[in-house]
Chains A and B, each alone.
Chain A
Amino acid sequence: MDFASFLIQTLNSLQYGLLLFLVASGLTLVFGIMGIINLAHGSFYMIGAYLAFVLTSATGSLMLAIALGIPLALVFGAFLEWALFAHLYKRDHLEQVLLTYGLILIFEQLRSLLVGDDVHGVAIPAFLDASIQLTEVMSYPVYRLAISVVCIVLAVALYFVIQRTRLGMMIRAGNDDRSMVESLGININMVYRIVFALGVAMAALAGMLASPISSVFPNMGSQVLIISFVIVVIGGIGSVWGALVAALIVGFADTFGKVLVPELSGIVVYVVMAVVLLWRPEGILKKG
């Protein structure tokens, strides 16, 4: 591999890792703070992508679709928490898996009834539809770089909310000890509802952002779900920073794995996971 290729592959790794972070951060929050194993998390990514497709077709602009889609996803998340997930906190993981697996089937069937089973594309907004020439034959789409910038901004915003605001304090406290937080007179149920809605919105946003480059297709959620769980486990359950570090590790492992050891590219990520867990069974950053 020459140096130019190496640099571009590094860029690929960062860009892929940051997008994965956007999906996985919501999952790790819900898993770590609320103790819910949410298999339907990938469905929220799928729903986001289909929202982007439907709203972009209706309004003619992906930006407008995202602006409309985020509040929709927040409301949808809060509703689901109120209607279903609130009843799960005191139950065991098996029942959580049962419910959330059922949700995957329901969401996929609804998607099939409402939008159909065809593959769809979403147009890149005109002002981002350009590319930067990197080598004589290859260029890099500006839209991919823009996604990375959005992901970085969101990571910083998330850091700010969790570390510097009252809500963040409650979230961290709830992560450590639910009953203690309750006995201090904090409405932990409201905190949970907000966290869950945020998690759904972040997965949906990831789906919306990714829709122009990944296209929109049935079962797209299940692909990101597995890799998201890998990231959550590598990073340490409940740790947003762990998820960021883990997502970047996975991004690099997947990209360079495909190029350097193509015949093993399918398992490189899992080998990395095994090694990390041998080294730190609780994940890289347990809670934080």
Chain B
Amino acid sequence: MGAYERVVPFPGWTLPGVIGLAASTVILKSHRVIPASPVVVAGCGPLLFAVSAGIIKAGGRVAAIADLASARDWLGTAPALALRPSMMTQGLQWAAQIAKARIPVFFQSTVLRAEGHEGLEKVIIGPVSRTGSPKPVSEACFHASCLIVGHGLVPGADIPRLLRAHIRFDRDLGGHVPVLDSCGRTSIAGLYATGDGSGIRGAETAVSHGKLVGLTAAQDAGRPLPSSWKSEVDQAHKKIAHVRSASIAMARLMALRPAQVDSIPSETIVCRCEDVTRDEIDKAIDCGARDINQLKHFTRCGMGPCQGRMCGDVIQELCALKLSIDRQAVGQWTARPPLRAVSLSDLIGTFEYDDIPIPNPAPL
């Protein structure tokens, strides 16, 4: 089911030239396109360094890296990563490439604002507190043609939500995830969930968990299984347990920081499809909106082409902060079809008017 990229809004984040961190890996890897240099890379999590190293390798120029986490936060992950030598090695390679290119890395820092007229021109970076809120002590300005920014991933649990499986909120897993048993069964018989859509746990967990869920589904369906299936299930469980501490450590670095959300300036757009600002969200709550669906009706937030996939997590957090209630109580936007926008011409195909099964009109 995959994941959505989370960007915690800041002034200027809707300027042309500002793109997502995870999105940039797609254009780098799949399309082999380098974002226009100079580039500032900002946000949190290991992708910051993977993307920066990727741009350098591809011949681009990175002006600065701003990481919400501190160097100490990264050191704190070392014991967990020590169990995953391949991840550790990979990380050290990126660090070496970045150091060799003499790219300034600002730990415990964030993008305060992006500026420009027709498109991005400047990125202003400043330090944050341990909880993620900006500290008004200093600023550093970088001229940039592209700002790559991402604050972690949100599970794409659209299908279990649409089918009304039980859902719970887990900040460390990235947000709302289906309630699963140890083998990936949801609350709905015959519906299983795995991968980032069931919680952000990284590629290695996804492979093992996917195998586990596949074997479980086959077993539940009464299908013939390979003789080795029991040991494969055990192995998958073991593998997941083995990488667990490392994947949790990485997920925590990418989890949403409430203080960062709380520091979004009031005039900043939070729902970019419908141009809804933080101030409008706050005012709607002052007017009596008490859950996320009512907030949507009051402001149109989440009603645009993305149907809240981009802004939902942040707006729900704003709502929780303002009302001092937990995320579970704020709720989620009701999931509705289609899962992605679909063109009406594709939907209708070719047809004859006479063949439309038009229901009879209401009584006269």
Is the pairing of A and B real?
A: no
Interface residues of A (CB under 8 A from B): none
Interface residues of B (CB under 8 A from A): none
